[in-house]
Structure 1
């Protein structure tokens, strides 16, 4: 796994790279700082989006909200129609109408509920509140095989603080965490912990120590004795173990699933000092977001080592850099400690080659067909409006307009004019929303009294 120094070197290199590149990554800052297009796997579909990862997430939230609204409206329409059919299908004078509506339901294209990540809501097991210092290192040092990792470390952390640890691979981050957890004794100095401190420790390789003979649910129940079975199933669902997955044997889980399971077991153990040693190593970007949200809800002391800059910025009240035999405490997150502002704007990293391409897109934009407006399109009754004369464009016109927007979007993406592409994405959403509204109106008109 790349440490932060290597990740930043890669980002700096790709920032100045003049060619095209394709990247599969779980590092959010890389995706925000470098990419201009996202290919996201949603369910069994590949969604293409012009923009960086944060912009894609914002767009996905909007799409999910719109789809949920459409889904709920359609479900309400289906219930009303089914009630009508059940009420009138047995009467001779209304049987035909009931049959007509049943055919309408049979032909109806069903809207699926959006696949969204459940909101993280966890009741952490109670442990005594630590007032004042949770632990303190006093002149602590440690060496292995004649190599001294660090010495003379003085570090005090108060109860309830969240501290992120970062540094190059092999610098001693894991050793520092093991000293804090009481898994190692220092060669020099001492480590003090409050008498009330109860440690929950997620160590690297914890996923390999799970009992393969247990089910997912049994494994979590073994570590979380104060929870009911339904509570555990709910928590497992939040961590992407929905439904029947809780009955899977640990032996058949993937590496990422095993890591998630080991993390859940650590989170649910009664504690007031949570120590996590590079917990994101085997996690995809969605699982990382879930972990970050869960740890944010933990109100006791947290110390975690990570190479994920987003996690270090989002969670850490303070950060500790372990490097070249030194352990240095900073009163802020990773951005503060590194003195670098991590940009989430893809335009900041645009290469000269891409800037030249952007200039060339002017001709593409001028040469592309204009977006068709309702008044310029032939419509029913020659007015470009619906048959009721409401001034709204007819469904056929909207579909024609949507096709044009999609063509313009494809041309903008091909020309790498991503600002234009983002505008067209917004326009496409608006047209699609209007099309759905017109379809709903036509269905309602078809169900009106006869």
Structure 2
């Protein structure tokens, strides 16, 4: 359906692709992977025709429709979420808009003298709407929006009043409703909670068209794709299998290439040593010449390109008392909405609680209560002895001084630390080389999150309270964080939509449901096994 043949592409001084080739066949589901800045978005833009390759060609079969979801959603305002989503479905959306306008005109007393004309036109437009299966489309649009977490009120409200994350969901819903022959999805799992993520996973598994997507969520990727295309060093390499299989194959290929490289280096060293030893002797001239010619003809094996993986290691955290935090008889309301009524909950040393619950269940509120960021209306929240808390939430990024550079901000936080130590810390969290000289105001959401987390973990607390710590993190940083936290000796209370993070780090689960609050001994894996669901309210 889509072929990339010997494409070359350069952005400024950066060479993105050199004679790279790949193909997307009908019905295939492909994961596109590669380090940040490798060219994943550039590849999508070349497939859609937004950007031409410098060399080679991108060809698409005649009549193939492509739906492209990117992180740049553009302006949305003035229409309901349902109307905005239906607009992606083509002509039917224009007919729906006219139908709505005619309905408003029929209810307008000022248009009474035109009523016959309006009713006649309404009949024509309604017939056209039915022809285009418009009523079913409206239902399908609502079904997709509900799957992505929208309430009926949000579906009817002005899309312009939604946050950036919810607008992303509207843009994604447009592509899903469109059902094109080929879907290109750039990070569709960003901004989704676990319930929406699982719904999307099920939708994409049942999608009959071809799919190419990027995602920082390995579990999500693993369950959907059957092929991986890797961008690395300007080339495209295809692996048959899911993400886990790709990781194994890549590691194996690197190991084999390293062994080949070392064997060849040993052979070359031997030949060069012979040449150096005998080049001055006339009796060995023919042999030396023969070996020099042989060396010139050898195809050199390159060593495998090393992915830069920097590991972060915790300094030992100070030991806390056995009782870390205790909530007794806690009541919390927002306006007329009751979040907690008489909540009792206790966290003990070295427990790692994952908080699960549908949107609005009170997950972030619980973390705010524990962290002291909000007060209970009634009841008590008491921290135990010798508790040093680290609280990470999305609002923490607002505390950055926009005029300071990354390095200045870390240096101000830790004036006693050496430059080398702070540069190593910055490197662990993805700020290598000149990146430490970036001003905080130009950082992306993901970079800000990494910087705030770097500061929090450098001088480690013994009690970590984390609200969606993996949002915006790429796979490599997420993996580094999971490995670092696996060796952490302190206590944790966290909310995450990343199932790999949940499975790797939790040893307790607190489930918030409308029917009540349930505590589970054992971590997320045991929770799934015992409940038969991956998130509250979702049966697997």
TM-score (norm 2): 0.56
1:54 CA drift (Å): 1.4
CA contact (8 A) 1:319 1:334 kept: yes
Counterpart for residue 138 of structure 1:
328
Hey, what's the Cα distance between the residues in 1 that align with 2:362 and 2:196? 17
1:215-254 alignment runs, 5 A limit: 215-224=405-414, 227-254=417-444
Distance change (3 Å), C-alpha of 1:341 and 1:139: closer
Counterpart for residue 258 of structure 1:
448
Hey, what's the Cα distance between the residues in 1 that align with 2:275 and 2:347? 67
Counterpart for residue 111 of structure 1:
302
Are 2:511 and 1:340 equivalent residues in the alignment? no
Counterpart for residue 51 of structure 1:
241
Distance change (3 Å), C-alpha of 1:110 and 1:156: same
Hey, what's the Cα distance between the residues in 1 that align with 2:448 and 2:438? 11
1:244 CA drift (Å): 3.8
1:352-391 alignment runs, 5 A limit: none
Hey, what's the Cα distance between the residues in 1 that align with 2:470 and 2:416? 26
Counterpart for residue 314 of structure 2:
123
CA contact (8 A) 2:391 2:466 kept: yes
Hey, what's the Cα distance between the residues in 2 that align with 1:177 and 1:325? 20
Counterpart for residue 26 of structure 1:
216
Counterpart for residue 403 of structure 2:
213
One of 463, 470, 473 as aligned partner of 1:283: 473
Distance change (3 Å), C-alpha of 1:94 and 1:118: farther
Counterpart for residue 443 of structure 1:
none
CA contact (8 A) 2:309 2:476 kept: no
Q: Deviations over 1:51-70 (max 9, x none)?
A: 11111112222122223333
Are 2:226 and 1:42 equivalent residues in the alignment? no
One of 380, 386, 394 as aligned partner of 1:190: 380
CA contact (8 A) 1:171 1:325 kept: no
1:273 CA drift (Å): 0.6
RMSD: 3.1
Where 1:138 maps in the other structure, the secondary structure is strand
Greater per-residue strand proportion:
2
CA contact (8 A) 2:218 2:500 kept: yes
Hey, what's the Cα distance between the residues in 1 that align with 2:406 and 2:294? 44
Q: Deviations over 1:354-401 (max 9, x none)?
A: xxxxxxxxxxxxxxxxxxxxxxxxxxxxxxxxxxxxxxxxxxxxxxxx
- RCO higher in structure (CA 8 A, sep ≥6): 1
- Extract unaligned runs of 5+ from structure 2: 1-190, 535-539
Counterpart for residue 307 of structure 1:
497
CA contact (8 A) 2:323 2:385 kept: no
Hey, what's the Cα distance between the residues in 2 that align with 1:229 and 1:301? 30
Q: Deviations over 1:78-116 (max 9, x none)?
A: 556666666666777778838964993696535033323
Hey, what's the Cα distance between the residues in 2 that align with 1:215 and 1:155? 41
Counterpart for residue 360 of structure 1:
none
CA contact (8 A) 1:137 1:191 kept: yes
CA contact (8 A) 1:159 1:300 kept: yes
CA contact (8 A) 2:321 2:385 kept: no
Q: Deviations over 1:272-329 (max 9, x none)?
A: 0111110111112222222211211211011111111121111100112234384432
Hey, what's the Cα distance between the residues in 1 that align with 2:273 and 2:222? 49
1:408-427 alignment runs, 5 A limit: none
- Extract unaligned runs of 5+ from structure 1: 343-348, 350-450
Q: Which moved more, 1:261-270 or 1:86-95?
A: 86-95
CA contact (8 A) 1:149 1:325 kept: no
